[in-house]
């Protein structure tokens, strides 16, 4: 082993130590406490798998899983459909293309909590006033106060902010497609839809996979935007899994119990990501 190779290894040691101290040790510690009745303070007793068994009987936990997956799947679909469409428009030969790309990326650099509180005001004040002036009953009250519609407001805000990042990835993929392919397809009389289905989408299949996996994983961990918009309400109708873990673990004296919830949710997210990745990669091969 040469001196330069040794130097590379030593340069990686600080990063490895930080990862172990700030990630691995807390994860292992959390997994251990998931087997106890630890409240976050004081004494604790070892309870084995009791916390894990109780999770599947807890209506609040099960409801949070249902809401989180409904929200995450809906937002993922909306983000990828709109982001791909916007990316194709921004990749076209239009005036001020670079400026438009910068403008569309702005939501991604804004703080999630700030965006959430701004839209909270819009949903709770501006839109109801507009609805009252137009005589629209369904718009005269805040949808965030409606347990059946509040999740749609969260989806709208989350999708609006997340589209920007997906647009950048799709743009990167679109720019890898040789223009000669479209020219040849145009000479053969291929329609716009045929060019999209036979050239564009197959060529950016890998970027579609990345966007789908990252979007779903990110939305499954939703927390900040929900806190800012509804704080889990009305009631507990918009509580995500992350909110239940935070409230129970750090505010409700259920540290050990919610650590078990965290472990289960970690395994769920990993399993969903792996299944999603393999399924989409097989679809790429079919193209």
pLDDT, tens digit (0-9, with 9 covering 90-100), for 76-97:
999 999 999 999 988 887 777 7
pLDDT digits (tens, 9 = 90+) for 136-193: 787 788 889 888 889 999 999 999 999 999 999 999 999 998 888 888 888 888 888 8
Q: Quote the CA–CA distance of 100 and 109 in Å, as a whole number.
A: 15
CATH classification for the domain delimited by 20-286, as one of 3.40.920.10, 1.10.3720.10, 3.10.20.30, 3.90.45.10: 1.10.3720.10
Categorize the per-residue pLDDT at 2 as very low, low, confident or very high, splitting at 50, 70 and 90.
low
Whether this prediction's pTM lies above 0.85 is answered by: yes
Average pLDDT for the chain: 89
Reported as a pLDDT band with limits 50, 70 and 90, residue 285 is low
What pLDDT was estimated at residue 270?
Answer: 93
pLDDT band at 102; cut points 50, 70, 90? confident
- How much of the chain, in percent, has pLDDT values that exceed 90? 55
Summarize the confidence of residues 223-246 as an average pLDDT.
Answer: 93
Residue pair 124/234 in contact by the 8 Å Cβ criterion: no
Residues 193-221 pLDDT 10s: 898 888 888 899 899 999 999 999 999 99
């Amino acid at each position: 082993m040469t001196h330069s190779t040794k130097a590379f290894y030593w340069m990686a040691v600080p990063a490895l130590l930080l990862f172990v101290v700030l990630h691995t040790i807390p994860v292992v510690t959390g997994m251990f406490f998931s087997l106890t009745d630890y409240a976050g303070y004081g004494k604790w007793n070892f309870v084995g798998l009791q916390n894990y068994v109780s999770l599947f009987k807890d209506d609040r936990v099960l409801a949070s899983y249902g809401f989180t997956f409904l929200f995450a799947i809906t937002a993922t679909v909306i983000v990828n459909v709109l982001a791909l469409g916007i990316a194709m428009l921004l990749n076209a030969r239009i005036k001020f293309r670079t400026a438009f790309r910068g403008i569309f990326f702005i939501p991604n650099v804004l703080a999630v909590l700030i965006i959430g509180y701004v839209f909270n005001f819009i949903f709770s004040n501006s839109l109801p006033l507009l609805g009252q002036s137009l005589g629209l009953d369904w718009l005269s009250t805040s949808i965030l106060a409606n347990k059946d519609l509040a999740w749609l407001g969260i989806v709208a805000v989350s999708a609006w902010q997340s589209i920007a990042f997906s647009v950048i990835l799709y743009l990167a993929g679109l720019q890898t497609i040789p223009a000669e392919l479209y020219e040849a397809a145009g000479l053969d009389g291929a329609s716009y839809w045929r060019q999209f289905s036979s050239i564009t989408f197959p060529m950016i299949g890998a970027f579609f996979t990345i966007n789908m996996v990252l979007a779903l994983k990110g939305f499954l961990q939703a927390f900040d935007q929900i806190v800012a918009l509804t704080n889990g309400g009305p009631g507990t109708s918009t509580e995500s899994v992350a909110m239940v873990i935070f409230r129970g673990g750090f505010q409700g004296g259920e540290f050990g119990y919610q650590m078990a919830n965290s472990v289960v949710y970690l395994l769920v997210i990993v399993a969903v990501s792996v299944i999603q990745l393999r399924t989409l990669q097989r679809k790429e091969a079919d193209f």
